[in-house]
Amino acid sequence: MGGAAGTGVLEMSVLVLNRFYVAIHIVSVRRAFTMLAKEMAEVVSIEDGQWCSYNFESWQEVSEFRRAIKEPDQDWIKTFRLEIQVPRIVRLLGYDRMPRSTVKFNRRNLFARDENKCQYCGHKYPTSELSLDHVKPRSQGGPTTWDNVVCACVGCNVKKGGRTPEQAHMKLVKKPVKPKTSPLVSVKLGSAKYQSWKAFLDNAYWTVELK
């Protein structure tokens, strides 16, 4: 999208469904609009308790109608030519692959699982002020796995050093475990903006990964 579209809005999240309405992925608003413009996907929108589908052209028409009565939880993109509502869900028209069955082990998911809280002192920090700590140090044979890696602030990480929590006389806030659902999706569902995702995120398909 060109014009006056805000970069922050373009990087917000959109849930992607496959052809059978199964949640498979999350993409940025920028990517979602690209798929809509190329007719690879359609918008799925909830209206009076019913799900409605729109192609890119009809979604522009709907946005024109809604523009006069914008809701607080809606986001909009304004360009030189039009103002269009940001969709929360899109459905791929020719893709029937199913989602992955495991939650990806990466730094982003670890921070989300631990809610950006140091697992030793319990305080919440910006991502830039947190590190990842091996509960059982690698020097003692500790693996790099979900149940042995936690978020730690700089102070606690230095205090613990190359020791186990017991050796350092420290306690974990909670035992680290592999999440059964995507931590990032759980974070998104805490926002009113993404409540429409819930209909497509039952227990069988809580495996969506962020790009």
DSSP string, 6-71: -HHHHTSEEEEE-TTS-EEEEEEHHHHHHHHHTTSEEEEEEETTEEEEE-HHHHHHHHHHHGGG--
5: alpha, beta or left? (left if phi > 0; alpha if psi -120 to 50): beta
Query: What's the pLDDT tens digit per position in 49-67?
Result: 788 999 999 999 999 998 8
Measured CA to CA, the distance from residue 201 to residue 20 in angstroms comes to 13
Integer-rounded Cα Rg, in Å, for the chain is 21
Please, what is the end-to-end C-alpha distance for the chain in angstroms?
20
Task: Please answer whether residues 207 and 99 qualify as being in contact, where contact means their C-beta atoms are separated by less than 8 angstroms.
Answer: yes
Give the percent of the chain with pLDDT over 70.
90
Q: Determine the average pLDDT of the residues in 130-139.
A: 96
Name the strand (E) or helix (H) holding 92. strand 89-92
Domain ranges of the chain: 7-100+183-205, 107-160
Task: Please answer whether residues 111 and 130 qualify as being in contact, where contact means their C-beta atoms are separated by less than 8 angstroms.
Answer: yes
Confidence category of residue 141, pLDDT binned at 50, 70, 90: very high
Q: Determine the average pLDDT of the residues in 174-183.
A: 85
Measured CA to CA, the distance from residue 5 to residue 207 in angstroms comes to 30
Query: What's the pLDDT tens digit per position in 69-103?
Result: 888 888 999 888 889 999 999 999 998 777 666 77
The model's pTM is: 0.61
Residue 162 confidence (pLDDT)? 95
Name residue 54's beta-bridge partners: 43
Measured CA to CA, the distance from residue 122 to residue 195 in angstroms comes to 28
CATH 1.10.30.50 matches 107-160 = yes
- Give the residue from 99, 77, 58 showing the smallest Cα distance to 8: 77
